[in-house]
Amino acid sequence: MNRRKQIYEGKAKVLFQGPEPGTIVQYFKDDATAFNNKKKGTITGKGVLNNRISELLMVRLGEIGIPTHFIKRLNMREQLVREVEIIPLEVVVRNVAAGTLSQRLGIEEGTMLPRSILEYYLKNDSLGDPMVSEEHISCFSWATHQELDEIVNMALRINDFLSGLFLGIGIRLVDFKIEFGRWYNGDDMRVVLADEISPDSCRLWDLKTNEKMDKDRFRRDLGKVEEAYQEVARRLGILPESGPSDIQGTKAIQ
Ligand code: UDP
């Protein structure tokens, strides 16, 4: 890993300069954080699973015409992506009340929402990622009207597609967070889906039991965190044949 120039280290990923100009290598760590970095820990094998899960979801979304930054997976913990200028917004889509929506508005967790809700948060750790409105976004030029239109359209399509994909494997997509970036290609600029989509950034509940299969197991100390991520991967059909022991083996490439 030392050969490559590190560009950025985030909470769950490290970004390195890619082999070609305009490319980046995303390395998925096992580190987990919650509550704006106040809670820290490790989920063994998480990086390997998130790399595979995010690959699968990005590829499938690409197949329905959602432009993404994803190029290809390189190995157990790394994927090659296009270099983009990240739009400084976390876009949250909700189908069922949970998390901060339940806390702020007193809506019981698990209440089905009559329609999907879109929320925006400013990506700014020192401010604690405050919620912002479209007015703030255009006033402070974090995204143009046209970009926001594209983001809303893509977010709703992504939600419909992923809700169906997860329902097909007995999982309810309660809510999720996505990020977008500007991909400059010559004179052309496109808004593309960036970052990752994984159980770190989604709430996934078992359809039959409502059991949580995502980072809430870590946030709320529910135990069996590794197992939950493995179960999502297994249902998506991407857990190695030999099971979780293969995933532990990836320490060799850390
Ligand atoms: N989320 C995320 N990163 C964040 C904040 C939220 O990936 O910094 C995801 C979270 O996993 C959930 C959705 O966005 O799937 C909505 O999160 P919420 O606003 O309820 O906040 P949380 O309870 O996660 O702090």
Residue with the smallest CA separation from ligand 1 atom 22 is 99
How many angstroms is it from 177 CA to the middle of ligand 1?
6
Topology adopted by domain 6-84+225-242 = Phosphorylase Kinase; domain 1 (3.30.200)
Pick the CATH number of 87-206 from 3.40.50.620, 3.30.2320.50, 3.30.470.20, 3.40.50.1000: 3.30.470.20
How many angstroms is it from 192 CA to the middle of ligand 1?
21
Mean pLDDT of 243-249: 49
Residue with the smallest CA separation from ligand 1 atom 11 is 201
Conformation bin of residue 86: beta by default, left when phi > 0, alpha when psi is -120 to 50: beta
- The tens digit of pLDDT for each residue in 26-61 reads 999 999 999 988 999 999 999 999 999 999 999 999
Residue with the smallest CA separation from ligand 1 atom 19 is 100
| pTM for the full predicted model | 0.94
Residues with CB under 6 A from ligand 1: 90, 92, 98-101, 129, 175-177, 201-203, 215
- The tens digit of pLDDT for each residue in 125-150 reads 999 999 999 999 999 999 999 999 99
Name the 3-class secondary structure at 7.
Answer: strand
Distance between CA atoms of residues 247 and 160, nearest Å: 30
How many angstroms is it from 204 CA to the middle of ligand 1?
12
How many angstroms is it from 188 CA to the middle of ligand 1?
32
- The tens digit of pLDDT for each residue in 76-95 reads 999 999 999 999 999 999 99
Beta bridge partners of 175: 94, 203
Distance between CA atoms of residues 166 and 70, nearest Å: 20
User: In a 10 Å sphere around its CB, with 0-12 CB exposed, 13-18 middle and 19+ buried, how is residue 128 labelled?
Assistant: exposed
Contacts 24+ apart (CB under 8 A), 146-154: 147/87, 147/180, 147/182, 147/191, 150/191, 151/87, 151/89, 151/91, 151/180, 151/191, 152/118, 154/66, 154/180, 154/191, 154/193
Q: Which two tokens stand for residue 43?
A: 């989920």
So where are the chain's domains? 6-84+225-242, 87-206
The answer to whether 68 and 169 have CB atoms below 8 angstroms apart is no
